[in-house]
Structure 1
Amino acid sequence: MLSPSSSPAPDDAAPSPSAFEIFSAFTKIGLTSFGGGLSGWMMREFVQRRNWLSEAEFLSGLALAQAFPGVNVINLSIWVGFRLRGGLGALAGALGLVVPTMVLALGVVGVFSAVARSDSVHLALAGVAAAAVGLSLQTGLRAARRAAQNALGALIMLATFGAIFFLRLPLLWVVATMAPLSVGLAYLRLRGREAS
């Protein structure tokens, strides 16, 4: 696992943020990312806007967050927080993403129950969902570009997609098969480079 200072930050990176800055950044993401696609919002905020992480670091954290059980974006908030400020940053990231959003969601549910029969509300929610899918697609394409840097990586990525999307195989079994295969092949490729 990476320690908060184990890999270099981007060349023009800002100084390491405080726990309060991490909490505030995740609060902003949680309160403004309507419709999902949180990993895309996080990438924009931490890589492109604040320059706290490089794209490679973020995508590595995203892959790790998706490999662990639980909610991916919570795992990612913990990883980003830890990467930026250790254990305190991990706590700040998770709390910043969850607590303010939970309070807002409770209020919105109360209001929504009063207007749930309105067709215009359902149309607005469909529009928000379409935008969220677009943002998730953008993040997915960036991650796919990084994963498919060689023919073997591209083949594993396509096989995983095909097994889940076309063959509709159980996700758990596909991941349990393809993840170790991918890690093993990457390990062999690294050993081959070291030997040459």
Structure 2
Amino acid sequence: MTAHTIHEISPAAASSNEVNICGAPPVPTSFALFKAFFFIGLTGFGGVLPWARRMLVERLGWLTNREFAELLPLAQLLPGPNVANIATVLGRQYRGAKGAAMAVFGLYLAPTVITIGIGYAYARWGHAPITAHLFAGLMPAATGLVIATVLKLVTSLPRGAASIVLVAATFIAIAIMKIPLLIVLAVLGPLGTLFMLRRARKE
């Protein structure tokens, strides 16, 4: 992870909610982490990632668009759901183990309760024709959310032909050639890192 991926917070700074001299947003409390990720989990119908980006970047300002774009690949490389990994990293960074636990607990609380209720309803009415039409109508909306998030993340990519080539190669490898994600990341990840290192040296 690069030095600017997440704001470095010292233990002393973590005990204060005041804006620091660099103009960074206030350091969130454990309860603030819980509330933020609870709202993300509660409103993340059709995919949590778009709502996580909106909350963390656009509403709270805990991450910049570039920082979120850099944290997402790390979350994808780690085992487990992407947003849960982001919650763990941010919670740990700001409030230690307690912050990580509160963020993840907030993220999963609402979806767990809702899913149990929907599972009960599906067991009773899942074979009804209206249910099939409902799911068919939700698919385009969920797809649109993912596409919108991708387009916003693309704007934070480093400018240059190498970035376009890496994006195109990743899409072709996964969507068309059906190569497993782990293999694609193992090959293209180091290539992207090498590209960024060479670019940093030139600058």
Q: Shorter-chain TM-score: which interval?
A: 0.7 to 0.9
Displacement of 1:177 in angstroms is 0.6
1:160 to 170, 175, 184: 170
Call closer, same or farther: CA 1:13–1:5 in 2, change over 3 Å.
closer
Residue correspondence of structure 1 range 16-165 to structure 2 within 5 A:
16-36=27-47, 38-165=48-175
For the residues of structure 2 that align with 1:185 and 1:4, how far apart are their CA atoms? 21
For the residues of structure 2 that align with 1:165 and 1:106, how far apart are their CA atoms? 32
Question: Identical aligned pairs, as a percentage?
Answer: 34
For the residues of structure 1 that align with 2:130 and 2:90, how far apart are their CA atoms? 37
Question: Structure 1: which amino acid aligns with 2:8?
Answer: S
**Root mean square deviation of aligned Cα:** 2.5
8 Å Cα contact 2:65/2:156 also seen in 1:
no
8 Å Cα contact 2:6/2:63 also seen in 1:
no
Q: Deviations over 1:100-142 (max 9, x none)?
A: 3213211220122111122222222222232221111111122
Question: Structure 2: which amino acid aligns with 1:54?
Answer: T
Q: Deviations over 1:74-117 (max 9, x none)?
A: 11221232344343322211111123321321122012211112
For the residues of structure 2 that align with 1:169 and 1:109, how far apart are their CA atoms? 33
For the residues of structure 2 that align with 1:129 and 1:80, how far apart are their CA atoms? 30
Q: Deviations over 1:28-48 (max 9, x none)?
A: 221222222x11101111211
Question: Structure 2: which amino acid aligns with 1:61?
Answer: L
Of residues 118-127 and 83-92 in structure 1, the stretch that sits farther from structure 2 once superposed is 83-92
- Helix, strand or coil at the partner of 2:179: coil
Question: Structure 2: which amino acid aligns with 1:160?
Answer: T
Question: Structure 2: which amino acid aligns with 1:111?
Answer: A
Question: Structure 1: which amino acid aligns with 2:107?
Answer: L
Call closer, same or farther: CA 1:84–1:158 in 2, change over 3 Å.
same
Displacement of 1:158 in angstroms is 0.9
Question: Structure 1: which amino acid aligns with 2:102?
Answer: A
- Helix, strand or coil at the partner of 2:116: helix
